[in-house]
């Protein structure tokens, strides 16, 4: 079973490209951002706590997201593959994911990393904020903070997976279809 991390800064297009991979390969899509937004919409205690972090452009605590992923992984049966989107976002999360997968004799196959320049990210997020209603996409200071948090806490995962020989950089600029094609041909080779 392929275990793929779709990686990249906020606005890199992870959610959009995850959908394309799901359609093409029938993978299961696990997005911690979507899961957290569902908790917020349902006004659960977890959602209310997470909202404070999300609205400030900060990361939700590791234990919260690890707990959500653990529950879902326990429920997944045999599928061609799993795509993690927005998870792991810290080295601590990556190590926990490794432990969870080792315990069921699996491991991460590859980190598919969408590479997009900073100015393009800000442009895309502001544009998304106009239509999505996502509060974390409308304020430029929050957007810049998310990108800084990505650089400080999430980008180090590139080194972590490079050392494991699993880092696959993919150009994240161009049309949505062009980028999907790059991802699909990379996954075909795995
Ligand atoms: P984007 O990739 O555009 O930032 P996401 O939907 O992946 O959007 O995440 C939205 C917000 O949810 C993040 O800014 C963060 O606050 C929170 N979040 C999502 N996934 C995680 C995670 N793995 N660890 C901590 N916080 C997370």
Range of the domain at 51: 2-180
Q: How far apart are CA 80 and CA 28, in angstroms?
A: 8
For residue 49, the model assigns a pLDDT of: 96
| Model confidence pLDDT, tens digit, residues 49-99 | 999 999 999 999 999 999 999 999 888 877 889 999 999 999 999 999 999
Work out how many domains the chain is built from and give that number: 1
For atom 3 of ligand 1, the residue with the nearest CA is 10
CATH classification at residue 13: 3.40.50.300
Cβ neighbours of residue 161 closer than 8 Å, sequence gap 6 or more: 5, 94, 108, 111, 167
Rounded CA-CA distance 79/88 in Å is 20
pTM, rounded to two decimals: 0.94
Instruction: Write out residues with Cβ below 6 Å of ligand 1.
Output: 10-11, 14, 32-33, 36, 53-54, 58-60, 65, 86-87, 89, 93, 136, 146
Q: What is the pLDDT of residues 155-181, one digit of tens each?
A: 999 999 999 999 999 999 999 999 999
Does some domain include residue 187?
Answer: no
Provide the β-strand partners of residue 169. 113
- Say how many Å lie between the CA of residue 32 and the centre of ligand 1: 7
Helix (H/G/I), strand (E/B), else coil: 143: helix
What is the distance between the alpha carbons of residues 125 and 132, in angstroms, rounded to a whole number? 10
**Is it the case that residue 103 has pLDDT exceeding 90?**
no
How remote is the CA of residue 59 from the centroid of ligand 1, in Å? 6
Distance CA 173, CA 53 (A): 29
């Amino acid at each position: 079973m392929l275990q793929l991390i779709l990686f990249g800064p906020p606005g890199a297009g992870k959610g959009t490209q995850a959908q394309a991979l799901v359609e093409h390969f029938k993978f299961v899509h696990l997005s911690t951002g979507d899961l957290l937004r569902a908790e917020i919409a349902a006004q659960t205690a977890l959602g209310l706590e997470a909202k404070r972090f999300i609205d400030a452009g900060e990361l939700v605590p590791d234990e919260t997201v690890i707990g959500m992923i653990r529950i879902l992984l326990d429920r997944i049966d045999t599928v061609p593959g799993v795509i993690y989107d927005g998870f792991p976002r810290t080295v601590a999360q990556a190590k926990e994911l490794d432990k969870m997968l080792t315990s069921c004799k699996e491991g991460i196959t590859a980190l598919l990393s969408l590479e997009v320049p900073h100015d393009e990210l800000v442009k895309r997020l502001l544009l998304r904020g106009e239509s999505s209603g996502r509060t974390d996409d409308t304020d430029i200071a929050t957007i810049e903070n998310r990108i800084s948090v990505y650089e400080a806490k999430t980008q180090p995962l590139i080194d972590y997976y490079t050392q494991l020989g699993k880092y696959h950089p993919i150009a994240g600029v161009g049309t949505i279809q062009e980028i999907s094609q790059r991802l699909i041909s990379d996954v075909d080779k795995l």
